[in-house]
Structure 1
Amino acid sequence: MRTLTDTTALFQQKVASAWSAKADRLQSATGILLGCFLLVHLHFESSILFGKEAFYHVVQFLEGGMFSETGHGYPLLTSIFSIFLLVVVLVHAAFALRRFPAQIGQWRALRSQMQVVNHSDTRVWFWQLVSGFILFFLVPVHLYTMIATPEIGPHLSAERVYHDKAWLLYIVLLPAVVIHAMFGLYRVAVKWGIGANRNGLRKLAHVLVVYLMVIGLLSLAQYMIIGSELTLPVEPFRP
């Protein structure tokens, strides 16, 4: 016969299990949203490789320039969307921290396991932890910049990268966010049974990491080149 203590413990266990399942779904959902956004974002950013005018028109489209009488977009939309992204990032981080090793001993145990057991998914999870730790500090800085100074354009973005030394942030942020996002999408696909071929999915994740790193670094280099040719104060680009 169950005692009151046993019944209470069973109820608490069911509640904890239900909450854990909801937390996993929310973590996966926010992770998918952020990962897909990164894929789109880096491709929009890479339009600078096709010239200043190409990037200018992409920016005007994203900022709703077609709804403006002058044809110029609304930078406020960038601020609003950046605030939304910051909220999503904080929610994702809050749920992800549940599984984050909190003590140095846990990190040592993980490292020891990786040295003894050559398991690909364990290495993926380790790099997820490392990149997630880096992003916890860098992503809010980047999003705050976009909230406070949302003006984007070939010249204004190049000024931020070159003259404001934002490249120091992006050179660390880029690999961390690409690795975290692509490996995160891979782990979500495996966890929820989206793809049966785990090796194929892992190879695809590696290919996407390399591809996004290449277009991201090329775009960053192009901003550096444009920025080095600008004189202060910088005038916004007009085609």
Structure 2
Amino acid sequence: MNSARTLTEHTLNPRTAGHPWSARADRLQSLTGLMLGGFLLLHMHFESSILLGKEVFYQVVQLLEGGMFSSTGHGFPWVTKAFSVLVLVVVCLHAALALRRFPTQLGQWRLLRSHLGSIAHKDTHAWFWQLITGFVLFFLVPVHLFTMILNPEIGPHLSAERVFHNNAWVLYALLLPAVVVHAMIGLYRVSVKWGWVVHRKPLRKVVKLLIVYLLCLGTSSLVAYMFIGSSLTLPVTPFSPAG
């Protein structure tokens, strides 16, 4: 087990081995990973409130955007913008720390491929899939966050317009499996790495169930936005409970 971890986390990128700040970087990477994994769990459930109806999703948006502090009850879109900037900063920090162990040379990729084919170590294979999904997310997540920063207006109709009429469903269809797999494996590896969980097999089963559950939840939400968007005519009128 130690040799597998050593090969995948250090030999592939030997420049990271032995640096005095490596342990601190590991802790910071785990911390930012926990923050992003927790955010994903909350975000997907907030988004899935569309499955309970337009008005429920509308009320959730107003709550998250601080509608209780507004005289009209409407939230402040700048809250979404500011939070998207914060998440982008955390994502960039997490990615920069993770790149320390990313194979950068063809020989390292060959070594990794040979290693994966020669052992049946589940955690090493999990790390490989986290590596691949992390590479995909490096391109997809900034697109999503920049979209929210530049256009923070969200709601049942406006979000459905973005998904259906602006073809954002393509981005989300690619983003959903990559981010779910990456985040859940990441939470598993952090729990094991810092000794929070001793028995790995039950935790792996929980992670697999979470991945299936979140994929079903996210897909159902995306389909709901598609159906709502297909019923809207341009220009789209923002949803209001009275209308």
Place the TM-score, normalised by the shorter chain, in its bin: over 0.9
Aligned mates of 2:173, 2:237 — CA distance in 1: 25
Tell me the residue number matched to 1:44.
Answer: 46
Tell me the residue number matched to 1:100.
Answer: 102
Tell me the residue number matched to 2:149.
Answer: 147
Q: Which has the larger radius of gyration?
A: 1
Aligned mates of 2:62, 2:229 — CA distance in 1: 20
Tell me the residue number matched to 2:8.
Answer: none
* Percent identity for Structure 1 against Structure 2: 67
Equivalent of residue 133 in structure 2, options 114, 119, 131: 131
Aligned mates of 2:219, 2:113 — CA distance in 1: 30
> Structure 1 residue 109: deviation in Å?
1.8
Query: When the two structures are superposed, what TM-score results if normalisation uses the length of structure 2?
Result: 0.91
- Across the two proteins, how many residue pairs are aligned to each other? 225
Equivalent of residue 210 in structure 1, options 187, 209, 212: 212
Aligned mates of 1:186, 1:74 — CA distance in 2: 35
Q: Which runs of at least 4 in structure 1 moved beyond 2 Å after TM superposition?
A: none
- Residues 13-28 of structure 1 mapped to structure 2, 5 A cutoff: 17-28=19-30
Q: Secondary structure at 1:195's aligned position in 2?
A: coil
Aligned mates of 1:108, 1:171 — CA distance in 2: 30
Q: What RMSD in Å do the two structures reach over aligned CA positions?
A: 1.1
Matched, 1:66 2:68: yes
Gaps spanning 5+ residues in structure 1: where? Answer: 1-15
> Structure 1 residue 108: deviation in Å?
2.1
Gaps spanning 5+ residues in structure 2: where? Answer: 1-17
Aligned mates of 2:106, 2:233 — CA distance in 1: 49
Aligned mates of 2:92, 2:98 — CA distance in 1: 10
Q: Secondary structure at 2:21's aligned position in 1?
A: helix
> Structure 1 residue 17: deviation in Å?
3.9
Aligned mates of 1:108, 1:216 — CA distance in 2: 35
Aligned mates of 2:105, 2:19 — CA distance in 1: 24
Aligned mates of 1:18, 1:58 — CA distance in 2: 45
Aligned mates of 1:107, 1:200 — CA distance in 2: 31
